[in-house]
Amino acid sequence: MVKRPKGAIIGIGELKPVRYSEGKTTLSLIAESVQLALADAGLTKDEIDGLLVGPQVGETPQHVPATVSEYLGVSPIMSNTVDLGGATGAGMIWRAAAAIEAGMCETVVCVLANKNEKGQVPRSPNRNPIREFDVPFGASGANTSYALLKREHMEVYGSKQEDFARIAYWSRKNALKNPKAIFYDKPVELDDILQSPIISDPLRLLEIVMPCAGGAAVIVTSEEKAKQAKKKPVYLKGAGEKITHRAVSQAPAMDQLPFAYSIPQALQQAEINGEDLDLLSLYDCYTSVVAVQLESIGICRQGEFGDFVRNHTFGHDGDYPLNTHGGQLGFGQADLAGGMSHIIEAVIQLRGEGGDRQIADAKHALVTGNGATLSETTALVLGGEQ
């Protein structure tokens, strides 16, 4: 048997992303998300003895676990801040399971939320190498970093604009089946994506997530306690993580980006192959991130995601169901909570609660998270059976 952290997801709560959140604080959105997850699990907050939270630029940069505990009125016996950018949500799930297995607690709530007020962009107070050696040259922000990664893929492997646009196309198409998605009622064609404004060439507007307000919470417990759960538990079958760099200029070669380690490790722990997956719930802050992941799962060769996306379908009833909730490209990105949307969709599908976007007989899902510039990566395999 391969050694792996064991645990089960027994509750999920997710706010509908909105472009702006007037009259809310990040703490109030966290509380709303936790309330929803507790109701879904049929638990009271007194049954929560573990709490994992994320960093909050601007509102609570330090002492986040204590601040959130106090606000919620809980006194956890295990708590921490997980700081992996977009991989934070996925990183929380296996950390919760590991803490439970270590005997430090039994039921952990993992929660992330973000307020987004018009005209208020909190500027990161970085004073580290990326601030010293990237920003002074005109390269601040994620858009340019991901544009550089996309350009490199195009040059090294010959991938085309249309290949990347297809990834956004499927996200937006899938979002039409999710009433919670920010682009639920806004269909686009491939050409709309290819013709959308250039933000940082070769990256165009519709290849980039929409910043939103929102929140999400997931409750993880022991496999033992999950047997009494109100709803069908979803089990953690495998996890992988890898961090390689921070700034895009320090990234390893295209075929050695950290997903090339974290995804195979998660599959190995779960003792399954990429072809056995029923849902690919892949972190998609930008189209280029999905491209790199498709080449790390073992379903298409390095550098050949373009052929793969041209030759397959990616809806809930497609060859390879991919981000059936619309991905973040279709659902919206409530900062770190955006990464949670991939976990929550996997739970919905594995429970069989997908409604008219339900994948037939879904047994295994791959969930990923990605932070900074393809720097911090986490992969989880979730399954409907223990």
Partner 1 sequence: MTNISFPEPTITAVSKPFWDKINEKQFYLQQCEECKQWVFYPRAHCPNCFSAKLTWKEASGQGKLKSWSIVHRAGHPAWQERTPYAVGVVQLAEGPSLLTHLLINEQELRYQLPVEISYQQLNERLLPFFQKKGD
The nearer residue to partner 1, 129 or 355, going by C-beta atoms, is: 129
Cα distance between the two ends of the chain? 14
Torsion angle defined by CA atoms of residues 307, 310, 311 and 314, in that order, rounded to the nearest 10 degrees = 120
Q: How far is the CB of 166 from partner 1 (least distance, A)?
A: 21
**Residue closer to partner 1, measured from CB, 150 or 342:** 150
* Residue-wise DSSP of 62-123: S-HHHHHHHHHT---SEEEE---GGGHHHHHHHHHHHHHHTTS-SEEEEEEEE---TT--PP
Contacts of residue 263, Cβ cutoff 8 Å, sequence gap at least 6: 240, 293, 296, 297, 366, 368, 377, 379
Q: In what order do the strands lie in the sheet with 107-114?
A: 78-81, 50-53, 107-114, 214-221, 8-14, 234-243, 376-383, 364-371, 279-281
* Minimum distance, C-beta of residue 196 to partner 1, in the bound complex (Å): 12
DSSP secondary structure code for residue 330 in this structure? H
Task: Determine how many CB atoms are found less than 10 A away from the CB of residue 224.
Answer: 11
In the complex with partner 1, the residue whose CB is nearer, 66 or 247, is 247
Nearer to partner 1, 57 or 299 (CB): 57
- Minimal distance, residue 9 CB to partner 1, in Å: 36
User: How far is residue 161's CA from residue 291's CA, in Å, rounded to a whole number?
Assistant: 12
CB of 248 to partner 1, least distance (A): 7
Closest CB to partner 1 among 18 and 199? 199
CA 55 to mean position of chain CA atoms: 16
Task: Quote the least distance from Cβ 250 to partner 1, whole Å.
Answer: 7
Mapped onto helix, strand or coil, the DSSP state of residue 243 is strand
Residue 255 or 353: which CB sits closer to partner 1?
255
Q: Specify the residue, 64 or 139, whose C-beta has the smaller distance to partner 1.
A: 139
Nearer to partner 1, 49 or 134 (CB): 134
Contact assessment for residue 78 and residue 38, using Cβ atoms and an 8 Å cutoff: no
The residue type of 305 is F
SS3 for 313?
coil
Query: Shortest Cβ distance from residue 239 to partner 1 (Å)?
Result: 27
* Smallest separation, CB 135 to partner 1 (Å): 5
Give min distance, CB of 30 to partner 1, in A.
Answer: 27
Dist. CA 322–CA 169, nearest whole Å? 12
Q: Which is nearer to partner 1, 35 or 144 (CB)?
A: 144
Tell me whether residue 76 or residue 258 sits nearer to partner 1 (CB atom): 258
Q: 69-75: list long-range contacts, CB under 8 Å, 24+ apart.
A: 71/27, 71/30, 71/31, 72/30, 72/31, 72/34, 72/45, 73/45, 74/45, 74/46, 74/48
Q: Which of 109, 51, 112, 43 lies closest to 78, judged by CA?
A: 51
Report, in Å, the least distance between residue 208 CB and partner 1.
Answer: 10
Residues of this chain that interact with partner 1 (CB under 8 A) are 127, 129, 131-141, 143-144, 147-149, 151-152, 155-156, 197-203, 247-250
Least spacing, CB of residue 158 vs partner 1, in Å: 11
CB proximity list for 60: less than 8 A, separation 6 or greater? 26, 27, 67, 68
Tell me the angle at which helices 287-294 and 161-175 cross, rounded to the nearest 10 degrees: 100
